[in-house]
C-alpha cells in the first residue's frame, strides 16, 4: 500500500501541548520512545488500520513570535520536559516543521490572549470573513504543498473567555450570513478556526474549553461538508479522576457531601487561566460532571491557580467528603502530580488517528465514541469514564467486524 500522507494542523503550534505532541511524534517515528500514554496503541485497537506515525506531516497556526526550538527549550528549562536527550534528536525536524507554521488570529480571543500575540498578529485588522479566508488559504497551501490526503485540525491553543451563545443562530445558513455583517457576531477565534477547517471538509478537534465547533450551527456545517469534529476540553488529570472515582461512590451508594479540587501549575495555559474570565470556561468544564454522574449535586469547589515555580507540573489536591452507612462521614483525598502537556500530547495523537479512521469509515458530524477523551464531550451526557471508554472499544469492535 502506498504510504498515506496526513496533515496534522495544530492551532497553538508552539504551546506546551503542541511542542510535546510534535516531539513525541518525532520520537515515535525515530523509535526513541515507546507507546506509553497512547490510548491508540493499546492491544484493544491493534486490529484497526490506524495511520502510522510516519504518515503524519505537521503544520499549524501560532500567534506568538517564538521559534519551535526556542519554545521547546523554554519548556525544558521550566519543566524538565521533553528530556534533553530526546530534544537534541529532534532539532532538524523542528526546523522543517517551523516552515509549516503560519500566524494565527486573536480575533475575539480576549485581552489576556491578545497580550501574548506578536505585534504582527495583533496589528491585523481583519473582519470575521477575512480571517476565515486567510486561515483556509493556509490550510489549503499546506495540503497542496505536501500532497496530503487529509488535514486534521486540532485546537490546542490557550483557553478563551466564555462566549454568550444564546443569541447566535442554530443554523449554519443564518450564522454564515452574519459573518459578512460589518458588526458581525462575537465569534471567538477558536470557532473561526473550526469554521475554516470544517468548511473545507477537514476534521476539527477542540482539545480546549474554548467554544470551537460546539455551536449547533457549526455542527450543521460539519455535516453539510460530510466531515467530522469533536470536543471539548481534553480530560487529562483531576477531571479524569473525578470521572473514574465518582462512579465508584455512586455504585457503592456512598453519598458525596462535598468535593473540593485545587489545581496549581505554572505553564502558559495557567497564566492565561489566571485571568478570571478565561478561568471561568475551565472551571465550568471541570465542575459539572459530578452532578451528572451522581444524580444529585454535592457541594463542589474547583480552583485553578497560577504558581510559576511548578511550570508544567500540574498538582491537584482533591478532598472528597462522603457519608456511608449509618450516616457516618468519611474522607478520601488525593494528590495528582502530572506533567500537564505530556498527559495531553498523546491524546492529541490518539484523537487524530481515531478521527482519521472514523472519517475514512464514513462517519459524519460529532464523534461520540471519543467522549472519554473530553471533559465536556459534544452531545454526550455520559460522564462515567469507563462507560465512555466502552463506547470507544465498541466502536473499534464494530469497525473491525465490518
Binders of a second copy among residues 185 to 244 (CB under 8 A) are 240-241, 244
What minimum distance in Å lies between the beta carbon of 395 and a second copy?
A: 14
Which residue number, 82 or 209, has a Cβ lying nearer to a second copy?
82
Contact between 155 and a second copy by CB under 8 A: the answer reads no
Given 8, 38, 215, 358, the residue binding a second copy (CB under 8 A): 38
Phi then psi for 23, rounded to 5 degrees?
-60, -45
Under the binding rule (CB under 8 A), the answer on residue 307 touching a second copy is yes
Nearer to a second copy, 214 or 270 (CB): 270
Count, residues near a second copy per rule CB under 8 A: 73
Q: Which stretch binds a second copy (CB under 8 A): 95-103, 196-204, 219-227, 295-303?
A: 295-303
CB of 2 to a second copy, least distance (A): 29
Comparing CB distances to a second copy, the nearer of 112 and 372 is: 372
Please state the closest distance from residue 92 (CB atom) to a second copy, in A: 18
Q: Which one among 115, 137, 335, 394 touches a second copy, defined by CB under 8 A? A: 335
For residues 332 and 244, what is the distance between their CA atoms, to the nearest angstrom?
A: 14
**Comparison of 44 and 224: residue with beta carbon closer to a second copy:** 44
Query: Interface residues for a second copy in 264-283 (CB under 8 A)?
Result: 264
Taking CB under 8 A as the criterion, the residue among 70, 170, 299, 398 binding a second copy is 299
User: Under rule CB under 8 A, which residues in 54-73 are in contact with a second copy?
Assistant: none
Q: What angle do CA 399, 36, 153 make, to 5 degrees?
A: 60
User: Which is it for the CA torsion 162, 167, 173, 177, positive or negative?
Assistant: negative
CB of 257 to a second copy, least distance (A): 4
Distances from the Cα of 51 to the Cα of 8, 26, 76, 150, angstroms: 12, 15, 29, 11
Q: Does position 48 bind a second copy by CB under 8 A?
A: no
Distance between CA atoms of residues 269 and 255, nearest Å: 34
Which residues from 358-377 bind a second copy, rule CB under 8 A? 372
Q: How far lies 263's CA from each of 129, 257, 308, 334, 377, in Å?
A: 38, 20, 13, 12, 21
CB of 284 to a second copy, least distance (A): 18
**Grid coordinates 498523546 are at which residue?**
346
Among 1, 3, 119, 331, binds a second copy (CB under 8 A): 331
Pairwise CA distance, residues 215 & 169, whole Å: 9
Kindly write down the DSSP assignment for every residue of 149-188, as one continuous string: SEEEEEE-SPPPPP---TTS-SSHHHHHHHTTSTT-----
DSSP-derived secondary structure for 232-287: S-B--SHHHHHHHHHHHHHHTTPEEEEEEEEEEE-SHHHHHHTSHHHHHHHHHHHH
- Angle formed by the axes of helices 216-224 and 189-199, nearest 10°: 20
Of 62-70, 120-128, 226-234, 319-327, the segment contacting a second copy by CB under 8 A is: 319-327
Quick one: which of 48, 130, 317, 364 contacts a second copy (CB under 8 A)? 317
Least separation in angstroms between residue 401's CB and a second copy is 21
Cα 109 to Cα 191, 304, 398: the distances in Å are 10, 20, 40
Grid coordinates representing 385 are 469514564
User: Does 294 help bind a second copy (rule: CB under 8 A)?
Assistant: no
Amino acid at each position: 500500500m502506498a504510504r498515506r500522507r496526513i496533515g496534522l494542523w495544530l492551532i497553538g503550534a508552539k504551546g506546551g501541548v503542541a511542542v510535546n505532541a510534535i516531539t513525541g511524534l518525532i520520537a515515535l517515528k525515530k523509535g526513541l520512545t515507546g507507546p506509553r500514554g497512547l490510548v491508540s496503541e493499546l492491544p484493544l485497537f491493534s486490529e484497526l488500520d490506524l495511520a502510522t506515525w510516519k504518515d503524519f506531516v505537521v503544520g499549524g497556526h501560532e500567534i506568538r513570535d517564538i521559534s519551535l526550538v526556542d519554545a521547546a527549550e523554554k519548556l525544558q528549562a521550566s519543566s524538565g520536559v521533553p528530556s534533553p536527550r530526546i530534544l537534541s534528536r529532534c532539532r532538524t525536524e523542528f526546523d522543517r516543521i517551523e516552515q509549516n507554521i503560519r500566524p494565527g488570529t486573536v480575533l475575539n480571543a480576549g485581552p489576556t490572549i491578545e497580550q501574548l500575540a506578536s505585534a504582527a498578529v495583533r496589528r491585523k485588522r481583519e473582519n470575521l470573513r477575512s480571517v476565515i479566508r486567510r486561515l483556509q488559504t493556509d490550510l489549503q497551501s499546506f495540503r497542496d504543498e505536501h500532497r496530503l490526503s487529509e488535514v486534521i485540525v486540532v485546537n490546542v491553543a490557550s483557553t478563551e473567555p466564555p462566549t454568550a451563545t444564546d443569541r447566535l443562530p442554530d443554523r449554519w445558513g443564518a450564522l454564515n450570513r452574519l459573518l459578512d455583517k460589518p458588526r458581525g457576531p462575537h465569534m471567538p477565534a477558536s470557532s473561526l478556526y473550526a469554521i475554516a477547517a470544517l468548511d473545507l471538509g477537514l476534521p476539527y478537534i477542540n482539545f480546549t474549553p474554548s467554544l470551537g465547533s460546539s455551536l449547533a450551527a457549526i455542527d450543521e456545517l460539519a455535516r453539510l461538508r460530510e466531515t467530522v469534529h469533536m470536543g471539548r476540553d481534553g480530560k487529562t488529570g483531576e477531571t479524569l479522576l473525578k470521572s473514574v472515582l465518582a462512579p465508584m461512590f455512586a455504585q457503592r451508594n456512598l453519598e458525596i457531601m462535598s468535593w473540593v479540587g485545587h489545581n496549581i501549575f505554572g505553564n502558559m495555559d495557567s497564566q492565561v487561566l489566571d485571568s478570571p474570565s478565561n478561568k471561568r470556561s475551565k472551571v465550568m468544564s471541570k465542575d459539572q460532571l459530578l452532578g451528572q454522574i451522581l444524580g444529585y449535586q454535592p457541594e463542589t469547589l474547583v480552583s485553578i491557580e497560577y504558581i510559576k515555580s511548578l511550570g508544567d507540573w500540574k498538582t491537584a489536591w482533591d478532598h472528597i467528603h462522603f457519608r456511608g452507612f449509618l450516616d457516618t462521614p468519611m474522607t478520601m483525598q488525593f494528590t495528582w502530580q502530572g506533567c500537564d502537556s505530556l498527559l495531553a500530547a498523546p491524546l492529541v495523537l490518539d484523537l487524530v488517528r481515531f478521527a482519521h479512521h472514523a472519517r475514512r469509515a464514513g462517519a459524519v458530524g460529532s464523534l461520540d465514541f471519543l467522549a472519554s477523551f473530553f471533559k465536556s464531550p459534544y452531545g454526550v451526557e455520559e460522564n462515567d469514564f469507563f462507560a465512555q471508554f466502552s463506547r470507544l472499544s465498541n466502536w473499534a469492535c464494530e469497525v473491525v467486524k465490518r
